[in-house]
Amino acid sequence: MDPVTLSPKDAGPKDAGPAPSLEVSGLAYAYPDGHQALFGVNLTVGRGERVAVLGPNGAGKTTLVLHLNGILEAGSGTVRVAGLPVAKRHLAEIRRRVGIVFQDPDDQLFMPTVREDVAFGPASAGLRGPELEERVLRALKQVGMEEYAGRPPHHLSFGQRRRVAVATVLAMEPEILVLDEPSSNLDPASRRELADILRSLDVTVLMVTHDLPYALELCPRAVILSDGVIAADGRTQDLLCDEELMRSHRLELPFGFDPRSVTVPSP
């Protein structure tokens, strides 16, 4: 399948550093049962970009994400994070640099209090004392949850737990924030609050989502992963306006939503 590229010069900010946040080259992977999930993915994400990963169920999105911090090992091809190859000898540093926020925050929160959950990662990496406390409070402040540090996570609303889950990743000071369906199960207010938080962060964001309006709101650039390859890469609005492209990859906008009517802010 030949990838479709739409206006790459308008697809988002160019990398200003010595290496992009993410470089995926020729990534292929087959599961032990023989199912081939990825057939040669090529993707470069510059520092500070916010990129949506779109695609139908079974396209390989989760498999791709699991390669970014070494949970899965490439069958062929390479993955680099800020120039560092994802390999066994670098796994500790790679997993600090690539923070994944799961779809269900309850998969990520397991300590008695919010403070302890956010402190868990940095403490496991050896941070102690005032430096650890400062890291925790800074991460909680970034998501607007500093007043809830002493609360048990299960006493929070779903939207608040998702923000704390984001804080647990931010406390590790990652290079890339990977979000799996971040808007799922959020009410409109929580959805807006999370969008405001994500726009304020000075990190590279890779957002895997079926929520196409949310992708348009937050990510100037999007890629469509379909049948294990990148089938399209360009400005999110351009991709969503291409009806034939959307239909051919089983992507559908909500009833009545017209991406042409949306004024997208500059990245």
Interatomic CA distance for residues 201 and 241, integer angstroms: 28
Interatomic CA distance for residues 123 and 119, integer angstroms: 6
pLDDT of residue 12: 42
pLDDT in tens, 112-126: 999 999 999 999 999
Q: What percent of the chain has pLDDT over 70?
A: 92
pLDDT of residue 264: 74
pLDDT in tens, 81-109: 999 999 999 999 999 999 999 999 999 99
- 233 DSSP β-pair partners: 5, 223
**Do 81 and 98 contact (CB within 8 A), yes or no?**
yes
pLDDT of residue 1: 47
**Do 44 and 20 contact (CB within 8 A), yes or no?**
yes
pLDDT at 195 over 50: yes
Query: Which conformational region is residue 188 in: left (phi greater than 0), alpha (psi within -120 to 50 degrees), or beta?
Result: alpha
The tokens of 12 are what? 């988002």
**Do 76 and 30 contact (CB within 8 A), yes or no?**
no
pLDDT of residue 109: 94
pLDDT in tens, 219-258: 999 999 999 999 999 999 999 999 999 999 999 999 999 9
Q: What is the pTM (predicted TM-score) of this model?
A: 0.89
Point out the least confidently predicted range of 10-14, 20-24, 28-32, 62-66. 10-14
CATH 3.40.50.300 matches 18-248: yes
pLDDT in tens, 211-227: 999 999 999 999 999 99
pLDDT at 111 over 60: yes
pLDDT of residue 265: 64
Phi, psi of 42 (to 5 degrees): -120, 120
pLDDT of residue 3: 55
pLDDT of residue 263: 80
Interatomic CA distance for residues 114 and 156, integer angstroms: 10
CA distances, 246 to each of 25, 62, 184, 211, 251 (Å): 25, 20, 21, 14, 5
pLDDT category at 267 given cuts 50, 70, 90 is low
- 36 DSSP β-pair partners: 30
- 98 DSSP β-pair partners: 176
pLDDT of residue 220: 96
Interatomic CA distance for residues 253 and 211, integer angstroms: 8
pLDDT category at 7 given cuts 50, 70, 90 is very low
Interatomic CA distance for residues 220 and 236, integer angstroms: 6
Interatomic CA distance for residues 143 and 196, integer angstroms: 9
- Reference 233, options 14, 65, 58, 52; nearest CA is 52
Q: Exposure pattern of 163-180 as b/e (b: 16+ CB <10 Å)?
A: bbbbbbbbbbebbbbbbb
H or E element: which one contains 160?
helix 158-170
pLDDT at 15 over 80: no
pLDDT of residue 9: 38
H or E element: which one contains 64?
helix 61-68
Arithmetic mean of pLDDT, 1-5? 50
CA distances, 151 to each of 128, 165, 191, 250 (Å): 21, 14, 22, 42
